[in-house]
Amino acid sequence: MKVGSPELEITRICDELETWGLTPEKIVGKHKVVIGLVGDTAVLDPLQLQEVSPWIENVLRVEKPFKRASLEYRHGDPSEVVVPTPNGDVIFGQNHPVVVVAGPCSVENEAMIVATAKRVRDAGAKFLRGGAYKPRTSPYSFQGHGESALELLAAAREASGLGIITEVMDTADVEKISAVADVVQVGARNMQNFALLKKVGAQDKPVLLKRGMSATIDEWLMAAEYVLAAGNPNVILCERGIRTFDRKYTRNVLDLGTVPVLRGLTHLPIMLDPSHGTGKVDYVPDMAKAAIAVGADSLMIEVHPNPAKALSDGAQSLHPDRFDEVMQELSVIGNAVGRWSETPVAIA
């Protein structure tokens, strides 16, 4: 729509297009409104649509198989995911400061998760990550404490004011997890669990969608499309490393090139996870810096008060003291690219 299009005219257009058997979805951007049309649009003539109203500036057919996730769907306007937290709204998006998410792989006990939450908050993190349910390659590895860990995450949220990001593995657990989490994570192993994608798409908490370890970018975006098509417009993409032929030195290969590629394909915010992407704590700081330099909107970094005794992923977890240093190092890169916020004031 043209800049300044009257709201009444936008409503009239949407009502008329509904009579054509289409589903109009109004997208309010920073400068203008876009109306996305969902349905049998193959036979529609863009010129015919243009004649519906003189307030229509342009009609663009979305050619990508991932319709709602496509950058074309929003006419090039990047989307923002706004998440309310006790410490205020946090915005994931291309035109906002980098959001740092930090915390342990797994929630182990209350003292540990609360203390870690306060430390990462004081260093500048906006969200606490911590797994209540943990998908593991081996059935004999620690699988997380389950529902009881959700109570511990709630306690950490209360004590720190941080938002909570935690993973859901089963459709049966979506409701209880979304009641505690501020952002619901779908992990790499569940990226193509289509029943789960539909379920998280039907609830109203934002969804963090991790890339599958062997997934192509198109497959990843089509997985995001499932969430968007189910009605949830708030999706954050997370690159967490992919498998290649050489895994001798790193756990995975963190695909930094995916950031500029995604910028040309989708409007969705982009997070990078250098902890899972490398699997080794010594490599995490440098890859985190590189992620900011290449344009990531958010970082997920594993932090544990005693990595040597962590129940999962200790080898890739930073000690809180090292995390303090890394955040200062990241601020140099973040300020250089104009994407860093001021250091927050600690809350007792």
The pLDDT tens digits of the residues spanning 110-130 come to 999 999 999 999 999 999 999
Is the domain of 28 the same as that of 176?
no
User: Does residue 348 sit within a domain?
Assistant: no
Which domain CATH number covers 190?
A: 3.20.20.70
User: Does residue 116 sit within a domain?
Assistant: yes
| Strand 163-167 relative to strand 127-129, pairing | parallel
Alpha-carbon distance of 149 to 106, in angstroms, equals: 9
Is the domain of 189 the same as that of 305?
yes
pLDDT surpassing 60 at residue 292: yes
Is the domain of 133 the same as that of 24?
no
pLDDT surpassing 70 at residue 109: yes
User: Does residue 2 sit within a domain?
Assistant: no
Q: Residue 21: which domain range?
A: 7-61
pLDDT surpassing 60 at residue 346: no
- State the DSSP code for 213: T
Helices (H), the chain: 7-19, 46-50, 110-123, 147-160, 174-178, 194-201, 217-229, 258-263, 274-278, 284-294, 320-336
User: Does residue 171 sit within a domain?
Assistant: yes
pLDDT at 336: 96
User: Does residue 263 sit within a domain?
Assistant: yes
Is the domain of 204 the same as that of 324?
yes
User: Does residue 69 sit within a domain?
Assistant: no
Q: Name, in order, each residue with C-beta under 8 angstroms of 3's C-beta and a sequence gap of 6 or more.
A: 31, 32
C-alpha 276, offset from chain centre: 15
Most confident of 52-66, 294-308, 333-347: 294-308
User: Does residue 192 sit within a domain?
Assistant: yes
Segment 138-186, tens digit of pLDDT = 775 665 667 889 999 999 999 999 999 999 999 999 999 999 999 999 9
pLDDT surpassing 70 at residue 258: yes
Is the domain of 106 the same as that of 208?
yes
Is the domain of 238 the same as that of 280?
yes
As a whole number of Å, the end-to-end CA separation of the chain is: 48
Is the domain of 50 the same as that of 178?
no
Is the domain of 41 the same as that of 160?
no
Burial of 233 from C-beta contacts in 10 A (0-12 / 13-18 / 19+):
middle
User: Does residue 346 sit within a domain?
Assistant: no
Is the domain of 151 the same as that of 19?
no
Is the domain of 24 the same as that of 115?
no
Is the domain of 164 the same as that of 19?
no
Is the domain of 101 the same as that of 171?
yes
Rounded-to-5 percentages of helix, strand, coil across the chain: 35, 15, 45
The phi, psi pair for 62, rounded to 5°, reads -85, 110
Number of domains in the chain: 2
Burial of 232 from C-beta contacts in 10 A (0-12 / 13-18 / 19+):
buried
